[in-house]
Structure 1
Amino acid sequence: MVEKRETDGKRIAGLLSSEVTGHENEPYGRLAVTNADPGVEATADGAHAYDVELDGERLAEVFVQPDRARVELRGGLTAARETAAEGGLRARPVGGEPPRLVVFVESGAEVKRALDVLGAAATS
């Protein structure tokens, strides 16, 4: 039997939020979901769903698009980029101030790998 592949951006962001809040072991115990918009609706450009904070400082923002979630990291970019590549997640750096790394989470199956990216960013 083949299970349906979860590709709804809002659902993917919700799964990632649950993973972030569901772990107490380091470094995940230092992460928190904040500024959540439970009524967020996906848009083509990406609607802000929530922030991920590390020890009270914003580490990433999560946006929902119709077919994926987008994580924009603001810290630990080198470790996050390496972990994303190892996990087969599509990621690209964004210039500007501050520089960011955008990681695309395109299915429910990629959520745990996205959590690994957040963990790597948190420990670097």
Structure 2
Amino acid sequence: MVEERITDGRRIAQLLASEIDGREDGALERLEITDADRDVEPTADGARAYDVTAMGPSQSRADERIARVFVHESFARLAFETGSDAASTAAEALDLRVEEDETAVQPPAVAFVFVESGAAVKRATTVVERVVQSVAADSTHG
């Protein structure tokens, strides 16, 4: 049986949200999908669908947006302002297309990671996980 390849940007973003929200282990346990636009429609430039937020472990530590997710006609795109270097490195190692924001003149730089099929969702989740680990390591050393 041949599975149909999922290349609908909105569906890919939904799968990614389910994967992130459904994980209760490791670095992903504190992540939540926030500010979701349930009626989002894909656009050529990408329409913001939701944010991926690390919830603060206590009131003394604020929640931190890890990425914003945008939907296009045939793919989803994650924009990492936090941990952009870790996102770029992880995405490249996992064979996901990554681009840097050419318009960023000062840090924080933005790394765009493209999720171009349903099959790439697990790899994109690993990128998110590595960014969370990097941000956590930076906060304990800085």
TM range (shorter): over 0.9
Aligned mates of 2:124, 2:49 — CA distance in 1: 16
| Cα RMSD (Å) | 1.0
Q: Could you give the per-residue CA deviations for residues 28-48 of structure 1, whole angstroms, max 9, x where no partner exists?
A: 011110000111000111001
Q: Tell me the equivalent position of 1:59.
A: 66
| Alignment gaps of 5+ in structure 2 | 56-62, 135-142
Q: Tell me the equivalent position of 1:39.
A: 39
Q: Tell me the equivalent position of 2:25.
A: 25
TM-score (norm 2): 0.84
Aligned mates of 2:46, 2:37 — CA distance in 1: 13
User: Is structure 2 residue 132 aligned with structure 1 residue 110?
Assistant: no
| Alignment gaps of 5+ in structure 1 | none
Displacement of 1:76: 1.5
User: What is the identity, as a one-letter code, of the residue corresponding to 2:125?
Assistant: L
94-103 or 106-115: which moved more?
A: 94-103
Aligned mates of 2:121, 2:35 — CA distance in 1: 20
User: Larger % of strand: which?
Assistant: 1
- Structure showing greater radius of gyration is 2
Q: Tell me the equivalent position of 1:123.
A: 133
Aligned mates of 2:15, 2:83 — CA distance in 1: 22
User: What is the identity, as a one-letter code, of the residue corresponding to 2:33?
Assistant: V
